[in-house]
Structure 1
Amino acid sequence: MKPAERRLMRELPVLRRHMTYSTVLALVGGGLVVAQAVLLATVLADGFAGQPPRTGPLAALGAVMALRALLAWARGGLAQRAAAETKRTLRDKVTDRLRRTGPQRLAARRHGETVTLLTRGVDAVDPYVVGYLPTMAATAVVPLTVVGWLLWTDWTSALIIVVTLPLIPVFGALVGMHTARRTARQWQLLARLGGHFLDVVAGLPTLRAFGRELHQSRVVGEMADAHRRATMRTLRVAFLSSFVLETVATLSVALVAVPVGLRLLHGDVDLRTALVVLFLAPEAYLPLRAAGAAFHDSAEGVAVAERVFAILDEGEEEQEGRRGPGAPGGQATDLPVPDPRTATLCLDGVTVQYPGRAEPALHRVSLSVAPGEHVALVGPSGAGKSTLLALLLGFASPARGRVTVGGTGLAELDLDAWRAHVAWVPQRPHLFAISVADNIRLGRPGASDAEVRRAARAACADRFVAELPLAYDTVLGEHGAGLSAGQRQRIALARAFLKDAPVLLLDEPTAHLDPESEAAVTRATVDLMRGRTSIVVAHRTSLLPHADRVVTVREGGLAPTGPAVESALGPVPALDPELAPDLERTRDPERALDPDPDPDPATAPGPAPAESLVTS
C-alpha cells in the first residue's frame, strides 16, 4: 500500500468504516460462494446419478443465489456512499486549506490545476473507493475461505491452488509499478492542460490584441494531444496487465481441473467432490484477477490523493511557519485580540522569504505604529510595501522576527478575530459575480441598504452605481466585468467605509482613478483615516500631507524615516527620488488634493488576479 493510501485510511474515518463493512460482507460472500458451489454440485451429481430432484437443495440454492445478489447490491450501495463522503471530505479539506492560505502563496499556484484537481481530479477517487477497496477486502478473505474448504474436501487441489495463487499478485505488482508511473504522468499532463487552458481563456483579449490567439490554440491542441498519447499508453499497459493476469489465472485453473478430471476417470474421486473443486477453483483466483483490473482503474485516484496531500502539507508548513515564531512550542494559543484602538502595531526584526526567490522580500525590518498614527509607505515597485501589509493581515509568515499587536504576537491570536478589526483595500480588489450592493456588503454582511449607499457615497461610487441598469441591484460579471478599474477600486473603498474598522491598511487607494475621482477619494479617505490607525501604501502624493510619518521601503528594508509632514511643506529626506516631482505639488496646501494630470504608468489598470479574493 502506497503512503497516500495509508494516509487516506488514517485521515478519513469513512474509508476505515468502508473497509470494515467490505471485509464483513466479503466474509459472508465467501461463505455464500462455498455454499452455492456445494449445493450446485449436489444437485448436478444427483441428476447424473438418476435421482429425482430434491426440493431442499434446490430451495437452498435459490436462497443462496438471492442472498448473493442482495449482498452485491448492499456492497455497491455502501461503496457509493463511502465514495461520495470521501470526495466531499477531500474537497472540503482542500478548499479549507486554500481559504487559510495567504494571497502570496495562492498567487504562486496555478489556479487551473487547482480547479482541475477539485473537479475532474477528485472524481477519479470513485474507482478507488467503489472498486479497489472492496476488491482488496475480498482478496484477503475469499481465497482463504475457498482454500480452507478445499483442504477439507480435496487437499490435493487445495495444494495446487496454494502454490499457483501467489503468481497473480507477483505479475500484477510487476505491471502495476509501471502503471503507477504512467498514470502519474497522465495526471500531470491533464493538470497542466487545465491550467494552461484557463490562463488562455482569461487572457484571450490580450492574446487577440497581440494577434497570438491562433498560436495559443495550437499550443492547447499540442498539450491535448500529449495527454491523449499518455492516456493511450496507460490503457495499453492496463490491457497488457489484464492479459497477463487472465492467462496466469486460466493456466492455474487448468492445473487444478486436469488432475481432477483424470482422477475422476480413474474413480479416485466422486463426481460431487470433483464438481465442488471445479466450481470453487475459479472463485479462488477471481478476487485477485478483479484486484488487478481495479488497480488500474484506481491508479489515477491514488495520484490525485497524492496531489491533495501535497497541497495540505504545503498549508501545514505555512501554518507551522506562522505559529513557530509567535507561540511557545509552536502551538497557536488564540489569545483574545487586544483593543486595536489602543494597541501598537509592531514589526520586530522581521524577515520574509518567498519560495523560489533568492532575495528576501523583507529583511530584518522593524517598525512601530502607535495607536491612531497615520503612516505612509513609499518606495519603488517590488520593494516590499505590500508584503509589509500582508504581514499585518497574517497573509504572510515571517521566517524570522515577530509581528505583535499590543505586545501580543500575531501568531498567537485568532487571525479571523484580528481581521475583523482591519479594513483592507488591495491594489487590485476582487469583485464577485453578485450585485453591487452585495459586493460592498462584504465589508459588513449585516449592513442595511441605507448603510451600503452611505458607504458608496463616501467612496464616491454612488454616481456611477446609480447609472447602472439596476443601480445597486446590478449583477456584475466575473471579476467585476462591466466596471472600469477605477470603479472597481471605489467599490473596494466602499467596503472599507462600510466595515468602519479601527485599523486601516490601504494599498494605493487612489490607483486607477482619474484626477477628479482621485481628489474626491482622497478627501473621503482622509475622513476615514481620522481617529484610526492607518498604514497607506502610496505611489502618488495626494495622501502624504495627511500622514504623520512617511517611511521609505527600499530593497526589502526601511530607509530612515522622514519627519512628520503635518503641513507637507518641508522636504522629506527619505522619500524616494521618483516622488520628488509630485512632492513639489504638496508644498502648496491649496494644491495638495490636485493630483498629477499625467498619471503614474505603474498604476495603470490591469487584470484582477485570483489572489485578491480576500477583501476588507
Structure 2
Amino acid sequence: MRSYYAVLAGFGVLTASVILAQADLLATLLTSGFSWLLVVVIAARAVLAGVQGAVVGRFAARTKSLLRKRILSAETDRAGEAATLATKGVDAADPYLTGYLPALVTAVVVPVAVIVRLFTADLASALIVTATVPLIPVFAILVGAHTKAKTARQWRLLAKLGGHFLDVVRGLTTLKVFGRAEAQARTVRAMADAHVDATMRTLRVAFLSALVLELLATLSVALVAVPIGFRLLEGGMTAHTALLILILAPEAYLPLRAAGAKFHAGAEGLAAIRETEALAPAMVTRPGIRRRRGVPGVVLDNVTVHYGDTPVLSGLDLRIEPGEHVALMGPSGSGKSTLLALLLGFVEPTHGRVLIDGVDLRELDLAAWRAEIAWVPQRPTLFTGSVTHNIGFGRPAGDAARAAALDDVVTALPEIGEVGTGLSSGQRQRIGIARAWARTDAGLLLLDEPTARLDAGTEATVLAATRRLLEGRTAILVAHRPAMAALADRVIEVKTLEHV
C-alpha cells in the first residue's frame, strides 16, 4: 500500500499541475484569444486520467487476488464467512481501491495547489477558499464516524447470513428428517431481512451526506463568486484574474466532493478488507529450522493455552518418546483437540513450549513440519471427485485404499459429492485413515476420535486399519472408547480445569 500511495501522490501532483495550467489558459482564451497550448493541456489531462485508471485497476486486481488467496489459505472453521468474503467481500473492496483512495489523495493535493495559486492571484478570494474548504472534510468526518459503525454492522450481518446459510444447506437432509427445515428457513429469512434493513439505513446516510457536502461546496463557491462579480463591475479586478478565480474555485472543492461521494462505497470496501484481516491475518514469513526426517519425540513443557480470556490447557507437562503411542481420554472441553492443534501449529501456547526432538516448534519450518504429520480429524473434509483422488490428492492411493479396506468403495463409487454424498460415516472415516496411510513419510500420527460416530462393525474395521497404521510412528490418539485406547502404549486422562 505504501508504494500505491506514492504512485497516487505522483498522479495527484501531475493532476494539480494540469488543472492550474488549464485554468490559466481558459482565462486567457476568454479574455485574449485562443492558444494551441490549451488543447495540449486538455489532452494531457485526459491521458493522465486514463493512465491513472489503468494503473489503479491493475493494482486493485492484484490486491483482490492476494486477498482471495489469503482467505482460501486461511486456517479457519468459519467456512460460510470465508465464502462470503472471497466472493462479495473482495469485490466490495474494488470501489475502495479504485475510487475512494485515488479521490482521497487527489483531495489532499489539488486543493492545496489551488489555494497557493489563488494567493498569488487574489488574497481575498484565497482567504475565503482557505476558510471554507476545511468545512467539507469536517462534515465528512462527522458523517463518516456514523457510517463506519453502520457499514461494519452491515458486513457482520452479511457474513453471519452467509455462514448460517451454508450450514443449513449442508445439513438440509438432516433438518428435513427431524422436521426443522421450515424453522431454519424462517431463521434465514429473518437474518436476510436484518441485513436488508442495515443496508437501507447505510444508504440513507449516504444520500443525506452527499446532499450536505454538495450544499456546502455550492455555498462556498458562491461566497467567492459574488464578491468577484461586484469587484469586476467596480473595476477593482481584471477580467483575466476574475475568470481565473472563478475557474479555480470549484476545482478546490471538486476533489473533496468526489471523495465524499465515494466515501460510502469505500467504507463498505474497507469493512470487507478488515473482515478479511480478522478472518485471515497476514502471515509473517520467518526462516525456520528444518529437522531431519524421522520418528519424532514430543515434549510439552508447562504449556498453557487461552482462547481469549478462557483457559483451555493449564501447566501441561507431557513427554512422548519416539515411536510411543499415547491415548488421551477425558470429557469434552478438556483440551484434547487443542493439544493436537498445538502440534499442528494451528495454535501457539500462551505460556510454555512445545518441543520436537528438543527444538521449540515455533522455531521449526511450519510447512516442512506439517509435511511430517498424518492427521485424522473427527470429520475428514471431502471433495467432489473420485475416492482415490480424495485419498491421494493426485498421488497414487491404491495401497492406502486397500489398507483402509476401501477397495469395494473405490469400485462401487467412482465419484462422490463435496460433503461425501453416497458414503456412510464409516467410509468417510476410512478415507481419513487412508489419507494417513498415503502419507508414507509422516513420522507423527494424530488421530482425533476417528471412531466416535461409528457402529461396532465399522469401528472394528477402522481399528484394524489404525492398528497397522501405528506401526513405526509416534502417535497421539484422542479416544472416548476403550477399544481405541487399547491401541496405545500409555493412556493419559485429561480433566477439565474446573475438576483439576
The TM-score with structure 2 as length reference comes to 0.90
**Per-residue CA distance 1:293-313 (angstroms, 9 max, x = gap):** 122221112222333333456
Q: 1:258 to 1:312 in 2, by over 3 A?
A: same
Q: With CA pairs under 8 Å and 6+ residues apart, which has the higher RCO, 1 or 2?
A: 2
The match for 2:44 is 67
Please state if 1:527 is matched with 2:468.
yes
Q: Give the match for residue 594 of structure 1.
A: none
Does the aligned pair in 2 maintain the 1:508–1:538 contact within 8 Å? yes
Say whether 1:491 aligns with 2:431: yes
1:219 corresponding residue in structure 2: 187
| C-alpha deviation, 1:465, in angstroms | 1.5
Distance, in Å, in 2 between the alignment partners of 1:487 and 1:397 is: 33
Matches of 1:81 and 1:332 in 2, distance apart? 29
Pairwise mapping of residues 74-89 of structure 1 onto structure 2 (< 5 A)?
74-89=51-66
Deviation at 1:400, TM superposition (A): 3.5
User: What are the ranges of 5 or more consecutive residues in structure 2 without an aligned counterpart?
Assistant: none
- Verify: 1:462 aligned to 2:422, yes or no: no
Change (3 A) 1:518 1:156: closer
Equivalents in 2 of 1:377, 1:303: separation in Å? 42
- Report the AA paired with residue 40 of structure 1: L
> Which residue is equivalent to 2:346?
395
Q: Hey, what's the Cα distance between the residues in 1 that align with 2:381 and 2:473?
A: 24
State the alpha-carbon separation in 2 of the partners of residues 396 and 284 from structure 1: 52
Find the counterpart in structure 2 of residue 346 from structure 1.
299
Cα distance change, pair 23–207 in 1 and its aligned pair in 2 (3 A): same
Give me the whole-angstrom Cα distance separating, in 2, the residues matched to 1:425 and 1:214. 35
Q: Which moved more, 1:188-197 or 1:526-535?
A: 526-535
Q: Distance in 2 between matches of 1:119 and 1:489?
A: 31
- Aligned partner (choices 351, 370, 392) of residue 321 of structure 2: 370
Amino acid at match of 2:408: R
Match of 2:168 among 196, 200, 208: 200
Q: Is the 8 A contact 1:365 1:557 kept in 2?
A: no
- Deviation, 1:461, is 0.6
Q: 1:481-509 CA deviation, whole Å, 9 max, x = no partner?
A: 22111111111111122222333223344
Percent identity, please: 53
Q: Cα gap change, 1:28/1:527 in structure 2, threshold over 3 Å: closer, same or farther? A: closer
The amino acid that maps onto 2:434 is: A
Q: Distance in 2 between matches of 1:38 and 1:332?
A: 55
Given residue 85 of structure 1, which amino acid in structure 2 is its aligned partner? Answer: R
Shift of 1:187: 2.1
Which amino acid in structure 1 is aligned with residue 10 of structure 2? V
Q: How many residues align?
A: 499
Secondary structure in 2 matching 1:364 = strand
CA distances 1:170-193 after superposition (whole Å, capped 9, x unpaired): 222222222222222222222222
1:288-437 equivalences under 5 Å are: 288-311=256-279, 334-337=288-291, 340-341=294-295, 343-355=296-308, 357=310, 360-437=311-388
The residue type equivalent to 1:553 in the other structure is V
In 2: Cα distance, 1:271 partner to 1:340 partner: 87
Distance 1:462 1:557, change over 3 A: farther
CA contact (8 A) 1:364 1:557 kept: no
Counterpart Cα distance in 2 of 1:93 and 1:524: 36
Matches of 2:430 and 2:391 in 1, distance apart?
Answer: 10
Confirm or deny: 8 A CA contact 1:172 1:241 kept in the other structure: yes
Summarize the alignment of residues 547-566 of structure 1 with structure 2, pairs less than 5 Å apart. Answer: 547-555=488-496
Deviation string for 1:224-272 (max 9, x for gaps)?
Answer: 2222222222222222222222112112211221222222222223333
| 1:32 alignment counterpart | 18
Match of 2:3 among 14, 17, 36: 17
Deviation for aligned residue 1:367: 3.0
Q: CA deviation at 1:457?
A: 1.0
In 2, the alpha carbon distance for the partners of 1:374 and 1:557 equals 28
Tell me, in whole angstroms, the C-alpha distance in 2 between the residues paired with 1:219 and 1:291.
Answer: 38
* Aligned equivalent of 1:236, options 190, 198, 204: 204
Residue 190 of structure 1, aligned match among 158, 181, 190: 158
Residue 228 of structure 2 aligns with which residue? 260
Larger radius of gyration: 1
Structure 1 stretches of 5 or more lacking a match? Answer: 1-14, 47-53, 100-105, 320-330, 560-616
CA-CA distance at 1:513 after TM superposition: 4.6
The equivalent position to 1:143 in structure 2, one of 95, 100, 111, is: 111
Structure 2 CA distance for partners of 1:557 and 1:238, relative to 1, 3 Å: closer
Question: So what's the TM-score if we normalise by structure 1?
Answer: 0.74
What is the CA–CA distance in structure 2 between the aligned matches of 1:380 and 1:28, rounded to whole Å? 67
**What residue identity is the alignment partner of 1:29?**
T
Question: Aligned partner of 1:466: which letter?
Answer: T
3-state SS of 1:371 partner: coil
CA offset digits 1:460-485 (Å, max 9, x no partner): 111221122x3xxx3x2112222111
Pair 1:261–1:208, CA change in 2 (3 A): same
Q: Distance in 2 between matches of 1:557 and 1:393?
A: 26
Q: Tell me, yes or no, if the aligned pair for 1:387 and 1:396 is still in contact at 8 Å.
A: yes
Distance 1:213 1:332, change over 3 A: same
Cα 1:557/1:367, change in 2 over 3 Å: farther
Residues 180, 63 of structure 1: alpha-carbon distance in 2 compared, 3 angstrom cutoff: same
User: How far did 1:161 drift?
Assistant: 1.9
Separation in structure 1 between the aligned mates of residue 302 and residue 70 of structure 2, nearest angstrom: 34
Matched AA of 1:35? A
Cα 1:181–1:428 change in 2 (3 A) is closer
CA contact (8 A) 2:337 2:478 kept: yes
User: Is the contact between residue 82 and residue 279 of structure 2 (CA under 8 Å) also seen in structure 1?
Assistant: no
In structure 2, the residue corresponding to 1:479 is in which secondary structure? Answer: coil
Q: Secondary structure at the match of 1:350?
A: strand
Return closer, same or farther for 1:227/1:427 CA change in 2, 3 Å cut-off.
Answer: closer
